[in-house]
Amino acid sequence: MAGLIILGFFLIVALAAPLLADSRGLSPVGATGGVLDPPSLDYPMGTDDLGRSVLTLTIWGSRISLMVGFFATALSMVIGAVIGIAAGYYGGWRETAMMRFTDWFLVIPFLPLAIVLASILGRSLFNIILVIGITSWPGTARLVRAQTLSVKERPYVERARALGAGDWHLITRHILPNVFPLIFANTILVVAIAILSETTLSFLGLGDPLRISWGTILEFAFNGGAASRGAWWWLLPPGVAIVLVVLAFTMCGYALDEILNPRLRRR
């Protein structure tokens, strides 16, 4: 419940960003405050070293952070679900091939792979989504495959086969609907990871330089020496926002898992 409220709050802020803060405040040219002003009435969260309002940056940053989180997760879910269902359903050498491919992605440390991919592909929002999407699907694929293995042995799948159903029909009408709850619960947990990954990559300077996300703000703050100059108001807002959003997604994910997975109930 608390998770949902926090999430709702951030979603509204992200959607209403243009109403809450003037986007001109994002560009160094349009900056109106002094350099590293501490929080005041005009700038509730102070300003950065270019005189931009940290509040404005954080509000607009929520858009990019959440957007990358959602799209990267969607991509990762699609890849994971397709590979998981195909491997589980067809079995045999195809399953072996696909699962070894998945294992390969699973054992490669995420960060180096993401950094390499991001630097090869170039710094753009789309590439960040792509990088996170193609590095975070293996867990989903394994989970979906396991569930597919169990669903495909159920008598109603056999009945549908006796009905004259082909593979496509069986997968879309009988397997997917029964695997979907699991994919859905997993999605929410992956969103949290995707947002953290976006922050990490942006903090390392691999994000889209033209768009401000929470990770980018932290990168600016780090490079601008926020810590040594005592500008806590520059680090704290994006940091707290990330912690809260990730926490909220994780809480929702566990809650959903409990609803969808009867074995976890009343423990």
Asked if residue 149 binds another protein (CB under 8 A), the reply is no
Between 184 and 222, whose beta carbon lies closer to another protein?
184
Interface with another protein (CB under 8 A), residue from 166, 228, 265, 267: 166
Q: Please identify, using beta-carbon distances, which residue of 12 and 97 lies nearer to another protein.
A: 97
Examine residue 154 and tell whether it contacts another protein (CB under 8 A).
Answer: yes
Of 50 and 165, which has the nearer Cβ to another protein?
165
Query: What's the CA gap between 255 and 132, in Å, rounded?
Result: 25
Give the ranges where the chain is alpha helix by DSSP (H). Answer: 2-15, 17-20, 54-90, 92-107, 110-121, 125-135, 138-152, 155-162, 167-169, 176-203, 214-223, 232-260
Under rule CB under 8 A, residue 173 binds another protein: yes
Of 1, 29, 120, 162, which lies in the binding site for another protein, with binding defined by CB under 8 A?
162
Packing angle between helix 54-90 and helix 232-260, nearest 10 degrees? Answer: 30
160 binds another protein (CB under 8 A): yes
| 198, 219, 242 from 115: Cα distances, Å | 11, 15, 20
- Separation of alpha carbons 212 and 243, rounded Å: 18
90 near another protein (CB under 8 A):
no
Point out which residues pair with 53 in neighbouring strands: 47
Counting contacts by CB under 8 A, is residue 260 touching another protein?
no
The CB-of-153 to another protein minimum distance in angstroms stands at 10
Among 8, 30, 122, 177, binds another protein (CB under 8 A): 177
Q: Using CB under 8 A as the criterion, which residues of the chain lie in contact with another protein when the complex forms?
A: 154-156, 158-166, 169, 173-174, 177-178
